[in-house]
Amino acid sequence: MASYSEAQNQAGNQAGNQAANQAGRGSRTIQLISFTVGNEEYGVDIMAVREIRAWSETTPLPNTPEVVRGVINMRGAIVPIFDLRARFGMPRTEPTKYNVVIIVSVASRIVGILVDAVSDIITINEDEVRPMPEMEQVSGIGFMEGLITVGERMVGLIGLDRMFSGRMLEAAEMGQRPLLAGPSAESAGAA
């Protein structure tokens, strides 16, 4: 158990360092768009954000994990929408018209992230991004790049590249296999 969390910690540290390295050495400022999922606040690099739009009904994709809400038509492009709440291992969002979809571009693809609401634009020095603390294995932690403190609030910095690395279906279903019985894993794997 100890070695496990140690490894985690190391990963977390690496994540923090990576975030710092990505922005370059020293104290460059970065801007984040922050949003809420439940009571938690997260942020993504503003440079990746293409647009922010209200939730609209999606067309579900068959045999995809809970995280994938389906696809929407964004000016002629077919854009998949991911449910961040489900990605964190919570129940799927029950979206209303007040829910928000943040359209980001990651690795030459355009995807949407369903969140509760957009809260802020945060400008910080990159050395203010602190590595993820050592903690128990919790879903979603793998794509966190670090933590930011804004006043009294804690904002989790999401690494989009990590969240959508490789094949999206794999990224989306990560960790779901153990609980869902064979068929789902197999059919998703087949897809």
Partner 1 sequence: MDDLQQFKQTFFQECEELLGDLEGHLMALQHGEGDSNTLNAVFRAIHSIKGGAGAFGFDRLVAFAHIFETVLDLMRDGRLQPEPDSVALVLHCADILSDLVRAAQSDSELPLQHEEEGRKALIALAATIGVNADPHAADDELAALDAELAAQAASVAPPEPAAEPEAPKAALLKYLVKFAPRDALYQRANEPLILIRELRQLGGFLAKADASTIPPLDQLKPEAAYIRWEFEIETDRGEQAIWDVFEFVTDDCDLEVTCLNPPAQAAAAPAAVTPAAAPAATPAIETPKPAAAANPAPKSPPVAAPMQQQAAPQQAVPQAAGAAGAGPAGAGAAGGEAAKAVRSIRVDLDRVDKLVNMVGELVITHAMIAQQTEHLHADQHPELANGLAELSHHIRDLQESVMAMRAQPVKSVFARLPRLVRELATLTNKKIRLEMSGENTEIDKTVIEQLGDPLTHMIRNSADHGIESPEDRMAAGKPAEGLIHVSADQRGGRIVIEISDDGRGINREKVMKKAIEKKLVSADAVLSNEEIDNLIFLPGFSTADQVSNISGRGVGMDVVRQNIQALGGRVHIQSRPGHGSSFILTLPLTLAVLDGMVLKVGVQSYILPLANIVESLRPEGDQINVVANASQLLRIRGEYVPLVYLHRIFKVPGGIDDPTKALVIIVEMEDGSKMGLVVDEIIGQQQVVIKSLEENFDPIRGVGAATILGNGRVSLILDVAGIKYIAEHETHRPAAIALQGGKAQPGIALAAS
Near partner 1 by CB under 8 A: residue from 35, 42, 55, 143: 143
CB 86 within 8 A of CB 93: yes
Q: Which is nearer to partner 1, 28 or 92 (CB)?
A: 92
Looking at the Cβ atoms of 70 and 128, the one nearer to partner 1 is 70
Interacting residues with partner 1 between 28 and 67 (CB under 8 A): 57-64, 66
Question: Under the criterion CB under 8 A, does residue 153 sit at the interface with partner 1?
Answer: no
Per-residue x/- marks for partner 1, 85-124, CB under 8 A?
--xxxxxx----------------xxx-------------
Question: What is the Cα 119 distance to its own chain's centre?
Answer: 16
Cβ-count burial 60-99 (b if 16+ within 10 Å, e if not): eeeebbbbbbbbbebeeeebbbbbbbbbbeeeebebeeeb
Of the candidates 80, 95, 146, 156, which one interacts with partner 1 according to CB under 8 A?
80
Rounded CA separation 103/48 (Å): 9
**Closest separation in Å from C-beta 115 to partner 1:** 17
CA 77 to chain centre: 21
Identity of the residue, 136 or 152, whose beta carbon is nearer to partner 1 in the bound complex:
136
| Least Å from the CB of residue 26 to partner 1 | 29
Size of the site for partner 1 (CB under 8 A): 56
Nearer to partner 1, 151 or 182 (CB): 182
CB atoms < 10 A from the CB of 22, how many?
14
Beta carbon of residue 24, minimum distance to partner 1 (angstroms, whole number): 25
Contact by Cβ (8 Å): 162, 45: no
The pair of structure tokens assigned to 145 is 């790049």
State the DSSP code for 165.
Answer: -
> Which of 63, 66, 61 lies closest to 94, judged by CA?
66
Q: By the criterion CB under 8 A, which residues form the site for partner 1?
A: 8, 11, 57-64, 66, 70-73, 75-80, 87-92, 109-111, 137-143, 162, 165, 167-169, 174-176, 178-184, 186-187, 190-191
